[in-house]
Every structure is written in structure tokens, then in C-alpha cells.
Amino acid sequence: MPDDLVFFLIQVLNGVQYGLLLFLVASGLTLVFGIMGVINLAHGSFYMMGAYIAFSLTALTGNLWIAILLGVPLAALVGFALETLLFRHLYCRDHLFQVLLTYGLILVLEELRSLAVGDDVHGIAVPKLLDFSIPLTGALSYPVYRLAMSLVCLAVATGMALLIQRTRLGMTIRAGASNREMVEVLGIDIGRIYRLVFAGGVALAAFAGMIAAPAASVYPGMGNEILIISFVVVVIGGIGSIKGAFLGSLLIGLASTFGQVYAPESAGMAVYLVMAAVLLWRPTGLFGRIS
């Protein structure tokens, strides 16, 4: 195969991988937004939190797998705690107050991290099992870890889809999204559902941060960066739509990757151009509904 084509394919793989990672983060955001009606600016901080937890636990245990195994439940616990202490007070409030409170939360989480582990940039070694590349042509090869990331994200995405479409819990979540009062009247504890969804979203974002860390390094600003992009994805896909978040993530992942490679000066703009274009065509996103 000619080198140019292989190079192009590598970018496609990179774009898809980034998109799938974005999906893990954006799906939590869109669920919380779509089901509980809460805009959570601190969602990017959970991603950052996951990466730093992975770093700390890997340094402690010497093993990324164990770190992830311990870290994800830890993140979920943090999610439960935050929902119980703070977020449940936001459900009936105006979006602007949610923006205010969650912005305050970003500040708190960032500084807590700073106090706990400092502000240094860290790297995590790719686990030995996956630390090799598949050669594609004489000069180009593709790191297996990235393929593994994509597969894991895909697996999680499939799991989510099955959970939402095929299980009773998923059905309850979908029902709660379209009609909260009705679900309550049916005797289902909507509060418990909300807590689960929120904790799930936190865990997903943290997990994404954990698996991304070996490939992308661990640094203080990583939360804010992915926050903005995740919001873009959610809005493109349509608020509350997992399908939309999936498509939006892939679209943005590819746009961003190709932008950086083929038009680096305007790479940053690419994402926003895509969003503006989608919204001007479909003002409520690809699969959004006017609530």
C-alpha cells in the first residue's frame, strides 16, 4: 500500500480513537443533562481526576490494571457523594445557577488535586502487554495501545447501549428522561436512578482519563480542554441522545485529528466550525428534540 494512503488510514484510526474516548466523556455529560436537566461544567474535572488517580495508584501499585480496577469504583463513589451533597440541589434550578455552582466546583476540584498531587505534568508508562506497534509499511506503524483503547471504548459503548435498550434499568432511565413525574408516580425511586446515572457519568469520564493517560500524559489543564470539546459533542449530537453523542464524538474526533494534521493553523477552529455548521442546519443538534 502506498505510504500516503497508509498515513491517511492512520489518521482515520487516530480520529476514531479520539472520538471514541470523547464518547465516554460526552455520554456521561449528555445523560446527566438530558435526564436530570443539569449542566455540569465540572464534568471535565472528572476526566482529569481519573487520570491523576491512575497516575497515583500506578505509582503506588506499579500496575496500571490494578490502578484502573481500584480507580473506577473510587470515581463512582465520588460521584455518589457529589450527587448526594451538591447536585441534587440543582435539579429544579435554572441552568445559570447550575453553571455558577459547577464552575465553583471546577475551582475546588482543581485545587484539591493541586494540594493532593501537585501541578506537575506526568506520564504513565504504557502497560508492557500492549507496548508495541503493528508495522504497516516500511516507515509507518500503529501503536497497539491505541487500538486497545478504541476497542475498550467500543466495548463500553456497546455495553451502555445494551444497558439502556435491553435492561429494565435502562428502560427506567429512558422513562425518567422523558417524564419524571410519571416515573415517580409509578413508585420508582427516581432519586436512586439519578444517583446511579450521575455516578455512572463520573465513572465513565474518570475511566476515560485513566486509559487516555498513557497515550496523552497527565496535566492540570486536561479537564478544561476536554470539557469544552465534550459540550460541543453533546450539543452536536443533541442533548440527551447517546446515539447523537456517539456520532458527534466520531465527527469531532475525525475533524480535530484531520485538522491538526492537514491544517494545523486552523486546527483549533475546526471543531467549532463543525458545531456552528451543524447547529445552523439543525438548531437542536443531530438527534435533539425540542423539549
Partner 1 sequence: MSRGAAQGAFVVLALAALTLFPLLADAYQLQLGAKIMIWAIFAMSLDLLVGVTGLTSLGHAAFFGIGAYALLVLSPEYAPANFWLALLVAVAAAALAALIIGLLVLRTSGVYFIMVTLAFSQMLFYAAVGSKALGGSDGASIYVRPSPDLWGWAPFNLANRVHFYYVVLGALALTYMLLHRLARSLFGHVLVGIRVNAHRMEALGYPVFRYKLAAFVLAGALAGMAGLLDAAQFGNVTPELLGWRQSAQALLMVILGGMGSLSGPMLGALVLTVLQELLGDLTRHWPLPLGLVIIVASLTLPRGLSGLWARGEAPPRG
Other CB atoms within 10 A of residue 16 CB: 19
Closer to partner 1 by Cβ: residue 145 or 231:
231
Contact range with partner 1 by CB under 8 A, out of 13-21, 101-109, 131-139, 190-198? 101-109
Which of 156, 202 has the CB closer to partner 1? 202
Nearer to partner 1, 46 or 231 (CB): 231
Q: Report d(CA 164, CA 160) in Å as an integer.
A: 6
Looking at 11, 56, 260, 284, which residue binds partner 1 (CB under 8 A)?
284
Q: Which helix (H) or strand (E) holds 220?
A: none
Choices 63-71, 143-151, 206-214, 265-273; region in contact with partner 1 by CB under 8 A: 265-273
From 94, 138, 168, 185, residue interacting with partner 1 (rule: CB under 8 A): 94
Is there binding between residue 192 and partner 1 (CB under 8 A)? no
**Residue 278 Cβ, how far from partner 1 at the closest point, in Å?**
10
Instruction: Rule CB under 8 A: say whether 281 interacts with partner 1.
Output: no
Nearest to 208 by CA among 78, 79, 72, 77: 72
Among 31, 232, 247, 254, binds partner 1 (CB under 8 A): 232
CA 284 to chain centroid: 21
* Residue 182 to residue 279: CA distance in whole angstroms: 31
Residues 6+ apart with CB under 8 A from 244: 30, 234, 236, 237, 238, 285, 286, 287, 288
Task: Write the interaction track for partner 1 spanning residues 105-124; mark x where CB under 8 A is met and - where it is not.
Answer: xxxxxxxx-xx---------
Instruction: Tell me the window of 46-54, 57-65, 95-103, 172-180 that interacts with partner 1 (CB under 8 A).
Output: 95-103
- Our CB check for partner 1 shows the closer of 204 and 232 to be 232
Cell numbers 494545523 label which residue?
264
Distance CA 165, CA 168 (A): 9
Interaction of residue 104 with partner 1, rule CB under 8 A: yes
Helix (H) or strand (E) segment spanning residue 290: none
CB under 8 Å to 252, separation ≥6 — which residues? Answer: 19, 22, 229, 232, 233, 236, 271, 274
What 8-state DSSP symbol labels residue 141? E
The contact set with partner 1 (CB under 8 A) reads 33, 39, 86, 89, 94-97, 99-101, 103-112, 114-115, 228, 231-232, 235, 239, 265-269, 271-273, 275-276, 279-280, 283-285, 288
